[in-house]
Amino acid sequence: MSDKPVVESTLRVRYVETDAMGVVHHSNYLAWFEVGRGEYMQQMGGSYAEFEEQGFYLPVSELDARFVAPARYWDLVTVRTSVAELRSRRVTFYYEVVMADSGQVLVTGHTRHICTDKQGRVRAIPKEVRALLEGKAR
């Protein structure tokens, strides 16, 4: 086990997230990833909203996900979020979505983000945000 911070967010599956197969549509897990990384930044002592107020953005440049088992309406699920890789201009988050009660893994995935300014130019991630992503700002 690494000592990297892992932040947990728990949410309940809404009907709007399900599809005709009776399970959560795969695209909706990706919105849960967003819940996970938003909560990660919050718990590390900052927030993505503040980051944008400072004129920086973290658009998603790459995504991968593996769908292991389905979630269904009203299931309580936990998103575990950590930082898998941190470079000067980009950050990769890692996510595990598990059933809150049994811990069964439903989905795992990564999102890679590049740091840009408002004009979309690639920028170095500011020092204080790096510290936050590393869990050193708390």
Judged by the rule CB under 8 A, the positions of this chain that interact with another protein are 21, 26-28, 30-31, 34, 57, 59-68, 70, 111
Nearer to another protein, 63 or 124 (CB): 63
Q: How far apart are the C-alpha atoms of 127 and 45, rounded to whole Å?
A: 14
Q: Which residues contact 54 (CB under 8 A, 6 or more apart)?
A: 126
Nearer to another protein, 3 or 64 (CB): 64
Nearer to another protein, 10 or 27 (CB): 27
Q: What is the DSSP letter of 122?
A: B
Q: How far is the CB of 36 from another protein (least distance, A)?
A: 13
Q: How far apart are the C-alpha atoms of 126 and 105, rounded to whole Å?
A: 34
Q: How far is the CB of 120 from another protein (least distance, A)?
A: 8
Nearer to another protein, 65 or 86 (CB): 65
Q: How far is the CB of 34 from another protein (least distance, A)?
A: 8
Residue for token pair 């107020």: 53
Q: How far is the CB of 1 from another protein (least distance, A)?
A: 26
- Rg over alpha carbons for the chain, rounded to the nearest Å, is 15
Distance from chain centroid for Cα 83: 9
